Amino acid sequence: MLNGTIKNPGKVITKVDLIMTLEYREDFLHSWKTVDTVRYNYRGGLGAGEHNERTFYPDQKGTYRVYLSGNIYHAQGGTNIQKWSTARAYDPKIIISNDPDKIELK
């Protein structure tokens, strides 16, 4: 699950128009490719912060990252957002479980 929290202290957010993109690459020799995208376009909550989240289900071994871009609008204008998450490796053969006795490899 990926979370995106935007804070604009002292400003009232009137509109959110953001795109969250999941990017993938097999290894460091390959370029990043878009796997999934979700758009958040709605009226702001009229507070100083907004929070959005999305659960992605990767299915290929490799490295993933999230790119968040778009605009947050407030009474004084707008703020352009462009952020990348930390890249994380993923291997679908490894299953993570809270119960160590039930860990299996596919």
Beta strand residue intervals within 26-61, DSSP E: 33-43, 49-54
Q: Which residue type sits at 28? A: F
Cα–chain-centroid distance for residue 40?
11
Measure the CA–CA gap between 94 and 83, rounded to whole angstroms.
29
Output the CATH code of domain 2-102. Answer: 2.60.40
**Among 6-10, 67-71, 100-104, whose mean pLDDT is lowest?**
100-104
Q: For residue range 62-71, what is the model confidence (pLDDT) as tens digits?
A: 899 988 899 9
Listed by start position, the domains of the chain span 2-102
pTM over 0.75: no
| pLDDT in the model for residue 106 | 45
Q: For residue range 26-83, what is the model confidence (pLDDT) as tens digits?
A: 888 999 999 999 999 999 877 777 888 888 777 788 899 988 899 989 888 888 888 8
